[in-house]
Structure 1
Amino acid sequence: MSKITFPNRAIFMCNGSKCGKHKEVKKYIKQINKENDTTEKIEIFKMECSDRCKSAPIVYYQPENVWLEKADVEMCKKLIEK
């Protein structure tokens, strides 16, 4: 049986019709991962629609268990740098 490994940090991004249009956060996370060549990579996961379209884009950050609404690069930057 193979062992499943889990990331230390992960960002779940809603990929619904409204949230999926906001690509700047995903681009920022990919940039962070390239610049910080460590084991502390942040994995990005797409979620199905979170049904919170009025608050798009929705981002969920683990392990801190934080949900962001109307997320932008600055909000994610502050969260990641904690």
Structure 2
Amino acid sequence: MSKDLSKIKKIIYLCNGTCCTDNGAEENIQVLRKTLTEQELNDEVHTIRTKCQGFCKKGPIVNIQPENTWYKEVDIETSRGIVTTHILKNTLLKKDLLFSSNSIIEPKKRKIIFSQNYLIGFVFFHSYSFF
């Protein structure tokens, strides 16, 4: 039985990279999915395991779209809270919040996305005039 993705309102991206997995991401994923099932939200919320999201020191990481909310150091309690508080009540879990586009809380540190670093060095090097 496949899921009708046209009914999905939120997508939860669950980091399943090496560091996050070492810190309990797999157990968190199972608890989060079980809680979604218990609350009968499987038709409205879709979960996706991802590779590393780049915040290894703050893992496990959970990213909720479309509101662009990121949670850090997610444990089993936070996994349940994401469903029961964030999804159902539309309230942020401020203790575990890394970043949210809908919040005044700013992240303490931002990582640069490394997928195009090779362009940065090349562009800056050739944009300078040496003579």
> Which TM-score applies when normalising by structure 1?
0.73
RMSD: 2.1
Structure 2 unaligned runs (5+)?
90-131
Aligned to 1:14: 15
Per-residue displacement from partner, 1:13-70 (whole Å, max 9, x unpaired)? 1111011232222112221232133533x21111221121111101101233210111
Q: Does 1:74 align with 2:77?
A: yes
CA distance in 1, matches of 2:8, 2:52: 22
- Cα distance, 1:74 vs structure 2: 2.8
Matched length: 78
Structure 1 segments, 4+ long, off by >3 Å, are: none
1:35 aligns with 2:38: yes
Q: Which has the higher strand share?
A: 1
Question: Normalised by the size of structure 2, how large is the TM-score?
Answer: 0.50
Percent identity over paired residues: 29
Specify which structure has the higher proportion of helix.
Answer: 2
CA shift in 2, pair 1:37/1:75, >3 Å: closer
What is the CA distance between 1:6 and its match in structure 2? 6.0
Q: State whether structure 2 residue 53 is matched by structure 1 residue 46.
A: no
Query: Of the two, which has the highest radius of gyration?
Result: 2
1:9 CA drift (Å): 1.7
Secondary structure of 2:6's aligned partner = coil
Which AA in structure 2 matches 1:44? T
